[in-house]
Chain A
C-alpha cells in the first residue's frame, strides 16, 4: 500500500534535504514542496498550510498519511510508514 507523504521544506535548510534523501533511500514517493521557491502567493499559501499543520515556523514539516512530524526525524517517519 502506498502512503501519502508530503514534505514542506525551505531550500536553504539542509535538514529538509536530508528528509527528502531519506524518503528517496526508502523508495517512498513523496511530494516535496520548497515553499521559498514557489511564486509569492503560492509560497505564502504553502507556508500558511505548513504553519497550520505544525503550529510553528520550523522546517521541515513532514506529513505522513495525515500525521505531522516537525523536524528531520527518520525514526518517526519509519514508525508512521511501518518500516522496521
Chain B
C-alpha cells in the first residue's frame, strides 16, 4: 500500500478512536500531513505507528503505550494540555492549536 493510501487509512481508523475520547485531528493540516507521513514510515520500519515525538524503549509494555493514538494511556497529561504530545490530536473545542504548548507530564 502506498504512503498516501495508508495515511488515509490512519485518518479513518484514528478518527474513530479519538472522537469518543473528545479529541479531533488538529486543524493544522500541514502538521497532520507531516505526522501521518512519519507514522506510515515508522509503521513500515518497525511494524507499528509509534508517536513521532516519543522515543521507543525496547520494552514492549512501554512502547505499546506510544502507538498512535496513544491518548488512552496518557489521558490526564493530554487532557491538561488539550492536545496530545505530538499535536496530531487536540480537544474538540480547540480552534487555534498554536496556543497550546507542550507541557511535560511532570509539570502537569
**Is there direct touching of A and B in the complex, by C-beta distance under 8 Å?**
yes
By a beta-carbon cutoff of 8 Å, the part of chain A in contact with chain B is: 10, 12-16, 35-36, 47, 50-51, 54-60, 70-73
- Residues of chain B within 8 A (CB-CB) of A50 are 55
Q: State whether B104 touches A16 (Cβ < 8 A).
A: no
Q: How many residues of B contact A (CB 8 A)?
A: 23
- Residues of chain A within 8 A (CB-CB) of B35 are 14
By a beta-carbon cutoff of 8 Å, the part of chain B in contact with chain A is: 31, 34-35, 38, 41-42, 52-57, 62, 66, 85-87, 101-106
- The count of A-to-B residue pairs whose CB atoms sit within 8 angstroms is 62
User: In the complex, what's the smallest C-beta–C-beta distance from B71 to chain A, in angstroms?
Assistant: 14
Given contact pairs A57-B57, A59-B54, A71-B101, A14 touches B106 in the complex (Cβ within 8 A): no
- Residues of chain A within 8 A (CB-CB) of B54 are 10, 57-59
- Residues of chain B within 8 A (CB-CB) of A71 are 101-104
Q: State whether B105 touches A56 (Cβ < 8 A).
A: yes
